[in-house]
Structure 1
């Protein structure tokens, strides 16, 4: 008859079993911990300032990954994805730095922040409309960098119409029925009129150019025709005649003795006359209608232009003459 197992043997078996279970528990716990450790590791790629930075994170957000990579953000910088995005394995973060440029639009300058690219893209981002007549410097395809200046010159045109006077010409005609020195208006002149269409070009509101783009004749000019006398011989009383270089129509007055000599220094006599030296030179021989032969020997403060003062021996004769218009012939 087999004997029963001893209490000691049973206790030993149970103790060994507990140790096995405890060891298995430790292994399982270690596996769980290690699995969680490696499972939460995220490889993050950050692209900024033309470089790639790689960081390993155990959970967290995009903002925390930037902090670990020691990358700071400017106020206007763009980041994708957003800062509060939860990290995931192989996540790519891209940072776009805004560029500070100067925009000179129609002469007014301002500071602007734009995304890297070319000039055309910057203007589109800023919602700046450029017309076909405007000029952009530099060219729209030019890549910009921080500190650059984009200048937009605004050009516009305006059309106006102006009426321009065309001065008439003077046409001279000889008249052999008129005395030399006399003239007659045969036909009055009239100015012509041209309508011009003028294109005015403005740059940034200031006029820079004018050009005539069309002309229309509204009225042709009419030449003024003046007849000039050519006759230099005149018949005078008693069948005589005189030869003269020119004839003048003058206002003739009369004077008599004052007790003074003439401007030429001689004592006045009939035939001595006062003239304006700018019209008739002193000493010139003359023939005055209704008076006769004379000589320019005197001047007077009131004798200016086409005026002549005739000397008479008596006051009675001078008063009788009075004032009249006469022909004065400058003798050759």
Structure 2
């Protein structure tokens, strides 16, 4: 009995082993067959490329396997119902909503494009070379998905006597002048506009060019005639003893021209350059008496006519206002910048206690007191004679800051190397 039981046990073990071997064999074969039916796919998802091994039958199933939710505005290539074949390349670009603002008017578009120019082309929005964009056409759109455009318009520009049409966007008058490379001196202005005003398509910018000059006119002065009695000269006869000489006088005028036309002329001073020399004329008083032993002396008086000077136009010479340079003074070069009493953080009061805002006509400079003493009179090339009344944190060594009244004047001055003379 014992041998029969052992023989039966061995027989059962053999059967079990055979069954397990068969199951393993079938499993391996099934796995091999299953793996063999998978297909290799290249997937480009928003610019990131990956290789995928899949049993998906269509492009849609593959994207679902990759947890990609396809929206209405996404771009899929090939289409969702395309059958998967080995080696197929699939591209998915996710659509995004972009806000386009044109002169403040906003519109929204869906797109899969990334460059600004491609998005605008897709939205049928044309941009000219004069339009202003927050981003360049060849740049990628920012993370905020916004494009801002200011459309350019033509502005009538009258610069003195020159007229032309120019392109501009809605910017301030000050920025417009800077874009056009136009500088104003301290006397010039824009008609009917402040520099902070914003341009519109109806704007007409008229610049009044102002020139302030000194005109020196030379005039001749007539000489007077002085008559003297001459007893040796027969009565009724006259003789020029000393020839008269005309004198010379200069008149200095301050002239203001707007766009080349004189609008004001003011006499500033008169100066006698050469005094006239009187002409001396001898007048005879000698009387001849016939048949008499003596000769009566006949008294006569000198007669000096009242001669008024007549104006006559002589030669002219013209010099720019403030260009007169003092003869003497301690001379050296400095770096000169400009400031206004209205700058941000400024009180308008100088270091010496002068309210610069209440003295708009004053010419003043900020200095380093170790170089130029406060209170000194200083002639500055291109500015004129000023008083050192102020200091500044950046004004150290051979540096000065000239006082002007407006920001545009300060910008126009810039940074210059100028010659100065300390007069006291």
TM-score (structure 2 length as normaliser): 0.40
Q: Highest CA radius of gyration, 1 or 2? A: 1
Structure number with the bigger relative contact order (C-alpha 8 A, sep ≥ 6) is 1
Structure number with the higher strand fraction is: 1
TM-score (structure 1 length as normaliser): 0.49
